[in-house]
Chains A and B, each alone.
Chain A
Amino acid sequence: MIEYKRDGWRAALALAPMVLFMLVFTFWPIINAFIWAFLEGFSYGGQSISHGELGGYKWITGGTFIKVGIDNFKTVFSDDLFWLSLRNTAIIVIVSVPLTVIIGLLIAVGLNSIKKFQGFYQTIFFLPYVTNTIALGMVFASLFHQNYGLVNKLFNNIGFAWINGTSSTGRTGVTFFSALVVLTVYTVWNGLAFKIIVFLSGLQNIDKQYYQAAQIDAASRGRVFRKITVPLLSPMILYITITSFIGAFKAYSSVIAIFGTGKYGPAGGDSDLMITVVGYIYDKMKGTGTPYGVASAASLILFFIILIITILQLQVSKKRVHY
C-alpha cells in the first residue's frame, strides 16, 4: 500500500492552473454578468459606448456614470427577436431532448445485449463524442445541402420535397420546419455518444441476477425493459435528461455549424430563422447603447429559465427515481 500524505502544497500547485483559468474565464465573467445586467445609462468621455472596444471594462474601472436599474431587462423583454429566439430554443429543447434520451437508451440497451463485435459497435457510436462540433456541422450542412445534399437528393428522388435543405448561399427555400428537422437530426446524433456511454455504464452496473430472476419468472422482454431496466437506470436517465435540457437550452454552435453566419451574426444564418437564446446574447454584444448590459440581462434570464426547469425536474424525479 502506498501511503498518500496530505500534501497541501503539492495539491494546490497542481490545481492552480485550472483554478486560475476558471477564476478568470468562468467566475469573473459570471460575476460581471450579474453586475452589468443591472447597470444602465452609461457614457464614457461623453460618448456612449459602442461594441467591440472592451468598453465594458471601462465602465467598471473608469466608473464614469453608474446607475442601477432594470432597463436592460426591459430592453430584452420588449425585443421581438428575444421572444423569437426563446421560441426557437424551446422548440429545439422540446423536440430534441426526449428523442435523444429515448434513442440513446435504446441504443445502449442494444449495445449491451450484443455479444460479438461489441467493442466495434461501441467505437462507432462513441466517435461523434470525440469529433469537433463544427466539423460535424459542416458535414451535416453538406448532407442536407439544398442543391447537392445527399439526403435531400434521396428525399427528392422518393418524392419528398419537404426538406429544402441548408446552404450558405442562396437560401431561398429554407423554411423553419426544414431547418428544424436538420438541426434536430444533428443535435440528437451529436449528443448520442455521451448518453450512450452513461447509459451503458449504468446498464453494466445492474446486477445480472435481476434479469435471471425475471427470466425464471417468465417476464417478457418489454416488461423486463419497463419494469426492471428503466427503473434501475432512473438515476442515469434523470442525469441525462437534466444535462440534455441544459445543453439544448444553450444550443448555439450547432446552429452556426449548420446554418453559418449571416445577418444576425453567427447565430441565425442569413435570417433570424434559427436564432437561439445564446445566439441572441452573442448578437446583442455587437449592438449599440449598452450592449454588454443587454447581453448580460439575456444571459441571466436564460440562467433562471434553466434553473427553474432543473429544480422542477429534480422535484418531479423525487417521486420517480428509485435510490
Chain B
Amino acid sequence: MEKVETEKILKEDYSHEKVEVKLQNLTKEFVDKKGNITIAVNDFSVNIPAGKLVGLLGPSGCGKSTTLYLISGLHRPNNGTIFFGNDDVTNIPPERRGIGLVFQNYALYPHLTVRQNIMFPLENLRVPHKEALARAQKMAELVHIGELMDRKPNQLSGGQQQRVAIARALVKEPRVLLLDEPLSNLDARLRLQTREEIRRIQKETGVTTIFVTHDQEEAMSISDEIIVMNEGLKQQIGHPQDVYDEPINQFVARFLGNPPINIVPGKLNSGKALLDNGVVIATGIKEPDQEINVGLRPEYLVLSDKGKIIADVEIVEHIGRDTMLLCYIKGIDMKIRAIIPSEKRFKPGEQVKFDCKKVFVFNKETGERYK
C-alpha cells in the first residue's frame, strides 16, 4: 500500500496536477520541560492556490517556520486539518505526502556528490538507475548546475548549494515545494539573483510553492500571494501589492514597506481623524470618537506648498533614485520619514510642507484599521 502510493506520486505528471494546499484551523502547541505551553500556530486557516508561489511572511518567532513544518509533516498539529487538493494529509507521514523541502541551511549530504545528492530521493523510491541518472541530470540543468554534478557540496558557493537543494527537492516531482528561509544564507547580490531563479524554476515546473521569509521585500518581490503572520495568527493573505496598499491592521502596515510606515498618534472627532497637533488628515470615518494611530507611508507624503503637515528637516539621505527626509512634525514631538523626488534638494533645518495621498487610521488598542 505504502509503496503503491509513493509510486503513484512519482508517476503523476506534476505539471498537470497542480494542487491547492488548504490549512484549516491549524494549531500547534509546544510544551517545554517546565510544562509551559507556547502556541506557535493558532487556529490558522488559509487556502494556498494551486500552482502559485506563496510567501509566508512574518517576524521571527511568528510561527511561519512551524507552519511550513506542519505542511511538510515533520511536525504534527495539535488540531486542524491539512489538505493537498482533495487529499487529507494531516495524518500522512512526510515521506508519503509528496513534498519537497529545502532547508534553511540546505542539509546537503556533505559526503555525497551533487549527483548523488540529487539522486538520493529517487534511489529511495527504487527508480531504475538509468532513469534516476537522467532525471537528476535534467533537474540539474533546470536549476543551471548541470556542470557541477561531480563536486561535493563544500566545493560549491552558497548559491550553488541552494540550487542543488532545490533540485534534490524537485527531482521526485513533488506536489508541493516548501522552502524554509531560502535566501537567508546568501549575500545581498546573490539574494537578488537567487530569488529570480526561484521564481523562474517555480514558473517552469508550476509546482505549488510555499516559502518562508522574514524579509518583506523578498516576499513581495517574487510571490504571487503573501500571507502575513504574527504571533501564530494569520494577519492577511493576498496579492503583495494589495496587502501593501490595503493592510488590514497596523501590524501588517508596519511590517510591509521599507522605510517603514510612520505611525503618528491622533484622535477621532465626529468622523474626522486629527493628528495630535490638530491637523485634520482624514474624514468620513464612521467610528466613535477615540484615540487613534495614523499611518503615513513615507512615499505617500507629497511635497506641496499648501500642505497641512508642516515639518522641520533634520536629516537628508540621498539614496540616488530618490531622497529620504527625516523630519520633525510641528506640534508633535515626533520624527517621520518621507521619500521625495531626488531633484528636490533640502538642507537640515529647512521647513517642508506635505500633503498625504493616502492615510491609514488604526484603532490605538487593537491595531484594527478603520476605513
- A residues with a Cβ closer than 8 A to B are 207, 209-210, 212-220, 223, 227-228, 231-232, 234, 322-323
Contacts and interface: CB of A to CB of B under 8 A. Distances in A.
A212 B121 contact: no
B192 interface: no
Nearest to B125: A218
Contacts of B112: 227, 231
Contacts of A234: 111
Contacts of A220: 124
Contact of B95 (A216, A228, A232, A323): A216
B55 interface: no
Given A218-B6, A218-B121, A223-B124, A213 B107 contact: yes
Contact of B110 (A214, A216, A227, A232): A232
B100 interface: yes
Nearest to A209: B107
A280 B333 CA distance: 92
B107 A212 contact: yes
Contacts of A228: 109
A318 to B, nearest CB: 14
A218 B74 CA distance: 12
A219 B94 CA distance: 11
B94 A215 contact: yes
Contacts of A219: 95, 120, 124
A232 B111 contact: yes
Given A210-B107, A216-B95, A323-B110, A227 B120 contact: yes
B95 A218 contact: yes
A213, A218, A220: residue with the most chain B Cβ atoms closer than 10 Å: A218
A209 B105 contact: yes
A208 to B, nearest CB: 9
B172 interface: yes
Size bin of chain B's contact surface: 20 to 34
Given A209-B105, A223-B124, A227-B120, A216 B111 contact: no
A218 B96 contact: yes
A237 to B, nearest CB: 13
Contacts of A218: 6, 95-96, 121, 124-125
Nearest to B102: A213
Contacts of B168: 213, 217
Contacts of B121: 217-218
A216 B94 contact: yes
A216 B101 contact: yes
8 contacts: A207-B107, A213-B103, A217-B95, A218-B121, A218-B125, A228-B109, A232-B111, A322-B111
A207 B124 CA distance: 20
B103 A217 contact: no
B109 A216 contact: no
B72 interface: yes
A323 B96 CA distance: 33
B134 to A, nearest CB: 18
Nearest to B74: A212
Contacts of A207: 105, 107
Contacts of A216: 72-74, 94-95, 99-101
A207 B107 CA distance: 8
A72 to B, nearest CB: 47
B101 A213 contact: yes
